[in-house]
Structure 1
Amino acid sequence: MKNIKKVVSIIAVVIITIAGVYGYKLYRDIFGANTKFTENQVYVEIPTDSEFEDVKKIISPYIEDMDKFETTANKKSYPRNVKPGRFLLKKGMGSNAIINSLRQNVPVNLAFNNQERLEDFAGRIASQLECDSLSILNAFKDKQFLEDNGFTEENVLAVCIPNSYEYFWNTTAEKFRDKMAKEYRKFWTEERLAKAKAQNLTPIQVSILASIVHKETVKRDERPRVAGVYLNRLNQGMKLEADPTVIYAVKKNSGDFNQVIKRVLYKDLETNSPYNTYMYQGLPPGPIAMPDITALDAVLNPEKHEYIYFCASVTNFGYHEFAVTPLQHEVNRQKYVEWVNNQGIKR
């Protein structure tokens, strides 16, 4: 009887030991560190409609032991519940933590500004989200979307208000577009709408004029004064005669938006384009760039003055010299022409 008890005790110890070893191994496989990257953290992107085999290929550069990962994934039913998106992996994570992380889509902090065309904007967004630039372009040019929101292909860039936004990486082009439209409507508060009306402008016209102001000066504190000049011209029935619109017209007519034009020539003023405000009265048909909020607010809150003319300053670089009369302006212009010639700037 004693021998039987002894044997039973030995067997129990063996079972407990085996169970302990197995439990330890299982714990180590599931919870032990299973990453092999040196950075503190990395992001992985799982495309829409990916399967488990696709996920393994994507994360393999970051996983130390794929067998351990796969075992844990099966235990947690991950292969049947793969989610697309952008996911954060931290150094030293175990397989269990990795699986949990692959179920928590991390949003992208989307950034964009100063895009000259919808095509440029689409490319910028496509570099940050899963959707490609063509699908983004088509979404914004969709006739029903344009009609429902009061835009045209020429002015739809106005719907994109540069700011900081959060999007999930796998957001579709249509959902991205619709949220931009929602943010646009949110931007145009009753107060801003009232200010636009006071300037005899629609929100789209504010965006178009703000794009010119944005291009004219990078100095935010000067933008209200520049906006005031253009509003004075509009109110007096003058042509805007804005150099940035001529530059845009030259680029658009040539199809080359990569060219750098530092100096507007007399021949450029003859460019036949509705964007050439030396040739055509009023505002161009669409924004010549994506104005930031300071430029938009400059048009809504312009400086009140009598200036009609302005020219780049050669003593306070980055700013402009303003004038009320053509004679005053000509003095400033001659100083600028002389400086440009001395710098050897021909184009």
Structure 2
Amino acid sequence: MKRLILRLFLLLLVLAALAAGSIAWYAHRPLALQGETVDFTVPRGVGMRQAATLIESAGVGVDARLLTLLARITGRATSIKAGSYEVHAGLTPWQLILKLSSGDVTMGELLLVEGWTFRQVRQALESHPDLEPDSAGLSDAEILARIGASEKHLEGLFFPDTYLFDKRSGALALLQRAYEAMQARLERAWSERDPAVPLASPYEALILASIIEKETGRPQDRGLVASVFANRLRIGMRLQTDPTVIYGLGPDFDGRLRRIHLDTDHPWNTYTRAGLPPTPIAMPGEASLRAALQPDQSEFFYFVSRGDGSSEFSRDLAEHNRAVNRFIRNGGSR
């Protein structure tokens, strides 16, 4: 009887050794792939068994049962991370488990450009191949509510930058990040503002910064462009800036600003209305935020494009008219 028990015990040891050897062999054997690389996404809340089945169906040559067993034996089955992954030829099951448990996800990238309108932002988000277009079909009010914004208009609320994200994450999550980034920078710029700036709130600063963004042809002129608008606001002079008029015309604008456009009243026409327009007209960058709240000190009330990206600044209308005659007699003056 004792011999039988001993033989059974030895048999179990041999079987266990064989099983361990098989698992070890499997763990370090390169996986076959359907291509040079295979992409797959592990959704949130998915367990190891479901993830292994998903990976197998995506074209990675794993045995879902063996991969799950390997993850459980090594204590990593409960630590896999959701996200998008990319695997290359030569990867072993053990390396795959390490990738899953460390969250070594592949990242998508999106650039939001200074001076873009929200229409352009939305198009970039919803057409990006690596983002879920979960903002598609939502109204502006619904998007504002989803990202936790207290403002009533989406224009200008998002900070222009390059954003990295987990592939297959949602457009709304990226919008929320961009909104929070703008709020943080606006709050900091407002706290460091020149107390003499003629602005009553951070939102007014955002509006003015968006105008400065659209009016600045070269970075060196940004502070002086800001000073012209600040000087005009202080004395109640109309801003008379073309980009606000163009924004108010919307997508029907054909690229050619005419006299009738300047004379036709609407909320964003700073030729017919005093003060700031009701909303930003684009996304300002950090430099434009800083210029709006810390403008250069100047006596300038006018500027006109020289045609090379720079601007000519003037103190009074007579000086400005001479600059217009010199640089741009066919229009475009400020």
* Same fold, TM-score > 0.5, yes or no: yes
- SS of 1:224's partner is helix
**1:92-171 counterparts in 2 under 5 A?**
92-103=90-101, 104=103, 106=105, 108=108, 111-114=111-114, 116-126=116-126, 127=128, 128-134=130-136, 137=140, 139-142=142-145, 145-146=148-149, 149=150, 151-153=151-153, 156-165=154-163, 167-169=165-167
**1:80-99 counterparts in 2 under 5 A?**
84-99=82-97
1:71 alignment partner, one of 66, 72, 75 = 66
Give yes or no for contact 2:42–2:83 (8 Å, CA) kept in 1: yes
Matches of 1:158 and 1:29, distance apart in 2: 54
Give yes or no for contact 2:115–2:214 (8 Å, CA) kept in 1: no
CA RMSD of aligned residues (A): 3.9
Matches of 1:131 and 1:199, distance apart in 2: 40
Give yes or no for contact 2:301–2:314 (8 Å, CA) kept in 1: yes
| Aligned position for 1:282 | 275
Structure 1 or 2: more helix by fraction: 1
Q: Which amino acid letter does the alignment assign opposite residue 247 of structure 1?
A: I
| Aligned position for 2:4 | none
Matches of 2:254 and 2:84, distance apart in 1: 37
Give yes or no for contact 2:269–2:277 (8 Å, CA) kept in 1: yes
Matches of 2:56 and 2:263, distance apart in 1: 59
Q: How many residues align?
A: 307
Give yes or no for contact 2:304–2:313 (8 Å, CA) kept in 1: yes
Alpha-carbon deviation of 1:280?
A: 1.5
Q: Deviation per CA, 1:200-244, whole angstroms, max 9, x where unpaired?
A: 311111111111111112412211111111111111211111011
Say yes or no: does 1:324 pair with 2:315: yes
Matches of 1:280 and 1:165, distance apart in 2: 37
Alpha-carbon deviation of 1:32?
A: 2.3
| Aligned position for 1:5 | none
Q: Which amino acid letter does the alignment assign opposite residue 191 of structure 2?
A: L
> Where does the alignment leave 5 or more consecutive residues of structure 2 unmatched?
1-6
Greater shift in the superposed pair: 220-229 or 29-38: 29-38
- SS of 1:284's partner is coil
Q: Which amino acid letter does the alignment assign opposite residue 30 of structure 1?
A: A
Matches of 2:89 and 2:223, distance apart in 1: 49
CA 1:319/1:115 → structure 2, altered by over 3 Å: closer, same or farther?
A: closer
Alpha-carbon deviation of 1:99?
A: 3.5
Alpha-carbon deviation of 1:310?
A: 0.9
Alpha-carbon deviation of 1:322?
A: 1.1
Matches of 1:241 and 1:197, distance apart in 2: 24
Q: Which amino acid letter does the alignment assign opposite residue 129 of structure 1?
A: L
Q: Which amino acid letter does the alignment assign opposite residue 268 of structure 1?
A: H
Give yes or no for contact 1:123–1:133 (8 Å, CA) kept in 2: no
Alpha-carbon deviation of 1:79?
A: 9.6
> Where does the alignment leave 5 or more consecutive residues of structure 1 unmatched?
1-7, 342-347
Q: Which amino acid letter does the alignment assign opposite residue 280 of structure 2?
A: P
1:333 alignment partner, one of 324, 327, 331 = 324
Greater shift in the superposed pair: 193-202 or 291-300: 193-202
Say yes or no: does 1:200 pair with 2:193: no
1:306 alignment partner, one of 299, 307, 322 = 299
Give yes or no for contact 1:48–1:170 (8 Å, CA) kept in 2: no
Q: Which amino acid letter does the alignment assign opposite residue 186 of structure 1?
A: A
TM-score, structure 1 as length reference: 0.72
TM-score, structure 2 as length reference: 0.74
Identity among equivalent pairs (%): 24
Matches of 1:95 and 1:247, distance apart in 2: 58
| Aligned position for 2:237 | 238
Q: Deviation per CA, 1:171-198, whole angstroms, max 9, x where unpaired?
A: 5566555544543443244663351653
Give yes or no for contact 2:23–2:70 (8 Å, CA) kept in 1: no
